[in-house]
Amino acid sequence: MDLKDYRKAIKNVDVSVGESICIIRELQNLSQNELSSLTKIPQSTISAIENDRVNLGVERAKIFARALKCHPAVFLFPGWDINKESVA
């Protein structure tokens, strides 16, 4: 298949920072307790982040990214659209 054979993905849902962590954690079949063990972030803090009661922050995003094997931007900017938002 060539690249021209693919169609552009359509955004169907907006997700929050916390929801993005929860979704990726669940896709990897990890509980909050297991993620806590991997990150050394208390389970209660993970729950608060996933429920958008506590801000994630850059350093925690890096920790989650290492544990969940993805780029920190996935968590920091889950709904960012390069075509609609300016960088500065």
Domain extents in the chain: 17-76
Q: What is the pLDDT of residues 23-41, one digit of tens each?
A: 999 999 999 999 999 999 9
For the entire predicted model, the pTM comes to 0.76
Is 35 within 8 Å of 18 (Cβ atoms)? no
CA pair distance 81, 72, nearest whole angstrom: 16
CATH number for the domain whose boundaries are 17-76 = 1.10.260.40
Q: DSSP states of 12-79 as a string?
A: -----HHHHHHHHHHHTT--HHHHHHHH---HHHHHHHHTTSS---HHHHHHHHHHHTS-THHHH-TT
Average pLDDT in the chain = 86
